[in-house]
Amino acid sequence: MGLFYPGKVHTVSAESEAGKTWLTLSACLDEIAADRHVVYVDFEDDEGGIVNRLLAMQLGPDLIRARFHYLRPTVALGTGINLDDLRGLLTTVEPSLVVLDGVTEAMTLHGMDPLNNKDIATFGRILPRPIADVGPAVVCLDHVVKSTESRGRYALGGVHKLNGLDGAAFVLESRKPLGIGLTGITTVRIAKDRPGQLRKHGLPGRDGMFWFADLRVTTEVEGMTEVEVVAPESKSETTMRPTRVMANICQALADKGDMSGRQIEAVVTGKSRTIRDAIALLQVEGYVSNGTPIRLIKPFEGSES
């Protein structure tokens, strides 16, 4: 399975050392191995750190020089001659993948507040969206808020970082730490999938997100790293399907017509998280529609429990 849609904007969000750069560089390696070009715009690290990771993944220096185009901006790229230079590079190499590493830092460089939803939407219009319009998949790497209780499906900065996407949003959660002599394991969750072609391959999880994959990063010795993106280890994170709630949601939609997720939570009895998980299951199994408002497609046929 692929991770990113051509011509769409995506986010990969995670706490520090959860593997978001490794995940993205794995996609870069796949594109380069397929004789395609990658542009990496780095607002956070430096070329030494990124190139050393590619070398550790056994990507040869010649291929890196030929197909991996690294930029380390020190001034804003979203306007003027700097934007023209970026457009010239995109036109020349025609990349299939463009990575914007460090969205929070990028917004600050452009004089914007990463906690201001209006600035977030503006930044999306001046940099990620124009790049995606040229054709490549655009992947924005960002941080999640530190509190797991308030984090939910959002990166640092608010709801517009999801609302502005037309691709997929991934949230990474570390399960086993990365390090030399270790195999680090990170859960890759789908928080949003607007085209709808990825979520169906994942497994329903908490907060309405889907468990799409496990990222495994094995570093037996320094300078040699194996990165794998594999199917989840188990079939489900939940011990029981909320079939009673699923049936009640379908009945409520049949009685009252199309509703938003919040309206469903208001009329169906149950914990909010259970209702959100039930809606996600109904959507992936084809009982109700994706998006808002939610529409009943067919009666629920599962047995109640």
138 and 197 share one domain: yes
Smallest CA-to-CA distance from 5 within 170, 168, 191 is with 168
CA distance 193 to 202: 11
Residues 265 and 194 in one domain: no
Instruction: Please check whether residues 160 and 47 belong to one and the same domain.
Output: yes
pLDDT band at 46 (very low <50, low <70, confident <90, very high): confident
Determine, yes or no, domain membership for 289.
no
Given pLDDT bands bounded at 50, 70 and 90, which one contains residue 290? Answer: confident
Cα distance between residue 45 and residue 183, in whole Å: 23
Same domain, 139 and 43: yes
Mean pLDDT in residue range 143-151? 55
So what's the pLDDT on residue 144?
74
The reply to whether 236 falls in a domain is no
Task: Please check whether residues 251 and 118 belong to one and the same domain.
Answer: no
Instruction: Verify that 105 and 48 share a domain, yes or no.
Output: yes
Residue carrying the six token digits 């990113």: 4
Region 122-149: what's the mean pLDDT?
A: 84
Q: Is there a domain that residue 224 lies in?
A: no
105 within 8 A of 142, measured Cβ to Cβ:
no
User: Does residue 166 sit within a domain?
Assistant: yes
Same domain, 51 and 118: yes
Residue 147: pLDDT band with limits 50, 70, 90: very low
Nearest CA to 269 out of 247, 287, 296, 291 is that of 247
Q: At what angle do helices 272-284 and 243-256 cross, to 10 degrees?
A: 80
Look up the CATH number of the domain holding residue 145: 3.40.50.300
Measured between alpha carbons, how far is 38 from 17 in angstroms, rounded to an integer?
23
pLDDT score recorded for residue 160 = 54
Q: What is the mean pLDDT of the chain?
A: 86
Regarding whether 258 and 197 lie in a shared domain, the answer is no
Instruction: Answer yes or no: is 78 within a domain.
Output: yes
Q: Identify the burial level of 165 via C-beta atoms within 10 angstroms of its C-beta, where 0-12 means exposed, 13-18 middle and 19 or more buried.
A: buried
Domain membership of residue 177 (yes or no) is no
Q: How confident is the model at residue 263 (pLDDT cuts 50, 70, 90)?
A: very high
Give residue-wise pLDDT tens across range 176-212.
Answer: 888 888 899 999 999 999 999 998 888 887 667 889 9
Domain extent at residue 139: 9-171+189-201
Find, among 124, 133, 139, the residue nearest to 20 by Cα: 139
Helix H or strand E encompassing 137 = strand 137-143
Same domain, 104 and 252: no
Output the CA–CA distances (angstroms, integers) from residue 186 to 22, 92, 258, 302, in the order listed.
11, 36, 37, 32
- Domain assignment present for 26: yes
Residues 158 and 50 in one domain: yes
How far, in Å, are 48, 52, 99, 106, 247 from residue 44 at the CA level?
Answer: 12, 15, 12, 8, 47
pLDDT at 45: 80
- The structural domain count of the chain equals 2
Check whether 237 has a pLDDT greater than 50. no
Helices (H), 34-186: 47-56, 61-67, 80-93, 103-109, 117-126, 128-134, 148-151, 160-163
In a domain, 23, yes or no: yes
Per-residue pLDDT for 226 more than 70?
Answer: yes
Q: Are residues 144 and 81 in the same domain?
A: yes
Same domain, 161 and 252: no
